């Protein structure tokens, strides 16, 4: 005999219809295992209903909240460390793969020549860029730094005003909850 539907009905009587209740009561009269399960479940339900609510010890809320803050900080730190390890190992893997590919496809002489060429190219680009910047600033009219300073201070004051109004609005009205 299949006891599974009857056991489900015993443990969740609220979801069965009248016909299933009658079938369950007939089955309980014939099957001692299901009758024992029904009796035990009714005892458990009565114990759950009659159990008194225990109030927490004094200071429980404060201890729980302080421990919660510590647990959140620890979880954040653990997550940060895991993220750092994953990102770091990914970067090491990619760099190792690229270096391996480089040494498998190029000779050491080619690698040295390309490295020296790249280094001298970067150095030459830096020298040229520095020359361009110095030449630009030497040809700037004498009043232009003051115009730039006034422009920067003006935008700074506008942004400071907007920031102050935003902080004032949030402190007066609060954030809207959705």
pLDDT band at 80 (very low <50, low <70, confident <90, very high): very high
Same domain, 44 and 17: yes
Structurally, how many domains does the chain consist of? 4
Same domain, 134 and 165: no
- The reply to whether 61 falls in a domain is no
- The reply to whether 58 falls in a domain is no
Percent of the chain clearing pLDDT 70 (strictly above): 96
Residue 153: the pLDDT is 98
* This prediction's pTM: 0.39
Task: Encode the chain in three state secondary structure.
Answer: CCCHHHHHHHHCHHHCCHHHHHHHHHHHHHCHHHHHHHHHHHHHHHHHHHCCCCCCCCCHHHHHHHHHHHHHHHHHHHHHHHHHHHHHHHHHHHHHHHHHHHHHHCCHHHHHHHHHHHHHHHHHHHHHHHHHHHHHHHCCCCCHHHHHHHHHHHHHHHHHHHHHHHHHHHHHHCCCCC
- The reply to whether 54 falls in a domain is no
pLDDT in tens, 133-172: 999 888 888 888 899 999 999 999 999 999 999 998 888 7
- The reply to whether 67 falls in a domain is no
Residue 94: the pLDDT is 98
Q: Which domain holds residue 86?
A: 72-105
Kindly state the average pLDDT of the residues 109-129: 96
Same domain, 43 and 8: yes
């Amino acid at each position: 005999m299949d006891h599974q539907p009857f056991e489900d009905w015993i443990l969740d009587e609220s979801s069965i219809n009248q016909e299933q209740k009658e079938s369950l009561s007939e089955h309980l009269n014939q099957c001692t295992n299901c009758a024992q399960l029904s009796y035990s479940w009714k005892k458990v339900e009565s114990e759950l209903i009659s159990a008194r609510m225990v109030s927490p010890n004094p200071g429980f809320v404060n201890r729980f909240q302080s421990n919660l803050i510590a647990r959140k900080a620890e979880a954040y730190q653990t997550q940060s460390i895991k993220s750092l390890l994953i990102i770091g190992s990914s970067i090491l893997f990619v760099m190792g793969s690229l270096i391996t590919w480089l040494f498998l496809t190029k000779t050491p002489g080619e690698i040295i020549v390309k490295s020296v060429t790249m280094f001298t190219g970067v150095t030459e680009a830096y020298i040229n860029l520095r020359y361009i910047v110095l030449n630009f600033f030497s040809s700037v009219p004498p009043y232009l730094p003051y115009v730039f300073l006034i422009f920067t201070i003006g935008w700074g004051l506008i942004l400071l005003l907007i920031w102050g109004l935003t902080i004032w609005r949030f402190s007066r009205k609060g954030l809207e909850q959705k």
